[in-house]
Amino acid sequence: MSEAGSVGMSVASAFAGMRRVSPVVFRAGCPDCRGRFELAASALRLAIGASSRTTFYSFTCPECGAAVRKPAGERIVELLTGGGVRTLRLHSTL
């Protein structure tokens, strides 16, 4: 899949990426206690189902401890997977 040229490119961009210091955080809100907070990628889980109705992300509220589950649209899925959130694929083979 990757040619020699693109390998060189990704090495260059890996070094360019060294400037990022802060960890990736996501803003989230809790429907139970109405708390608003920032969560690290490791605090979130993304579950990708066969359809958008079974695709959601979940986290535990740091304020009240509630298990929060919210539907994840295409953009959110992109955002979370790009940010290193652990992803679980629920559907087996199509």
- Where does this chain bind Zn ion (CB under 5 A)? 30, 32-33, 35, 61, 63-64, 66
Q: Smallest gap, in angstroms, from Cβ of residue 85 to Zn ion?
A: 19
Residue among 38 and 63 whose Cβ is closer to Zn ion: 63
Q: Which residue has the tokens 């959110």?
A: 76
Residue among 28 and 77 whose Cβ is closer to Zn ion: 28
Q: Smallest gap, in angstroms, from Cβ of residue 58 to Zn ion?
A: 13
Distance between CA atoms of residues 45 and 77, nearest Å: 11
Residue among 47 and 68 whose Cβ is closer to Zn ion: 68
Residue 48 neighbours by CB under 8 Å, 6+ apart: 55, 72, 77, 87, 88, 89, 90, 91
Q: Smallest gap, in angstroms, from Cβ of residue 10 to Zn ion?
A: 40
Residue among 39 and 61 whose Cβ is closer to Zn ion: 61
| C-beta separation of 70 from 58 below 8 A | yes
Q: Smallest gap, in angstroms, from Cβ of residue 35 to Zn ion?
A: 5
Distance between CA atoms of residues 94 and 86, nearest Å: 22
